Amino acid sequence: MTRTLICTLLAVAASCSNKNNSADTDRASEDLRKAQSVVVAKGEDVATTGDEIERRKRQLAAEQQLLADKEKALEDSRRQLGSARGTLEQARTAYAAAVKERFAKLEAGLASLSTRTDAASKDASAGLAARRDLLAAELARMPDGADASWPAYTRNVDTTFDAIERDLRAATP
């Protein structure tokens, strides 16, 4: 107990000395305030930067999802394009077969007309044969694949066929 009493007396005596120690505590207090201010500012910077990073992560995740959705849609479109190309090729093959059959019938009609011996039939046969040859040349230029000229091409071929067949029927009694 005496020891505690001696320590207390020494502390009181030291504090009562003539020397002013306030400058030491003032400087330490100022350093503490500056350090505290730096810690607060850096803490705010860290929080702001962290928030910005999290916001950007969410934004990137949303953009990645959008990109993934677009890639899926592109793949679906590619599959549909492949299917459409297959359908187009089947339709082109069917059209070519129908044209070939129609051309064969036209050839048979022209062959029948050419066997006639009268002058009108011979003249009609020669004119129709020349038009048939032009049609055959047009058929040889049939477009491939997805060509924008298909509608005009098929319309022209059908119109030419119709005209030759009509004139062939008129020439054949």
pLDDT in tens, 84-116: 989 988 989 999 999 999 999 999 999 999 898
d(CA 106, CA 161): 8
Does residue 75 register a pLDDT over 70?
yes
User: Residue 5: pLDDT band by 50, 70, 90 thresholds?
Assistant: low
Is 161 a member of any domain?
Answer: yes
| Mean pLDDT in residue range 112-121 | 89
Choice between 8 and 66, residue whose per-residue pLDDT is larger: 66
pLDDT category at 13 given cuts 50, 70, 90 is: low
Does residue 13 belong to any structural domain of this protein?
A: no
Give domain status of residue 25, yes or no.
Answer: no
Do residues 97 and 148 make contact, with C-beta atoms less than 8 angstroms apart? Answer: no
131 Cβ contact partners less than 8 Å away, ≥ 6 residues apart: 160, 163, 164, 167
What mean pLDDT is predicted for residues 154-168?
Answer: 94
In a domain, 6, yes or no: no
Residue 43 within any structural domain of the chain: yes
Number of domains the chain is built from:
1
To the question of pTM greater than 0.75 for the whole model, the response is no
Q: How confident is the model at residue 14 (pLDDT cuts 50, 70, 90)?
A: low
Say what the pLDDT of residue 94 is. 93
pLDDT at 132 over 70: yes
Q: Could you tell me if residue 36 is inside a domain?
A: yes
In single-letter form, the type of residue at position 157 comes to V
Q: Is residue 129 part of a domain?
A: yes
Give residues with Cβ within 8 angstroms of 116, minimum separation 6.
Answer: 122, 125
Tokens for 171, please give them: 């020439």
Segments forming the whole domain that contains residue 126: 30-171
The 3-state DSSP class for residue 141 equals: coil
For residue 58, what pLDDT band results from cuts at 50, 70 and 90? Answer: very high
Tell me if 18 is assigned to some domain.
no
d(CA 24, CA 30): 10
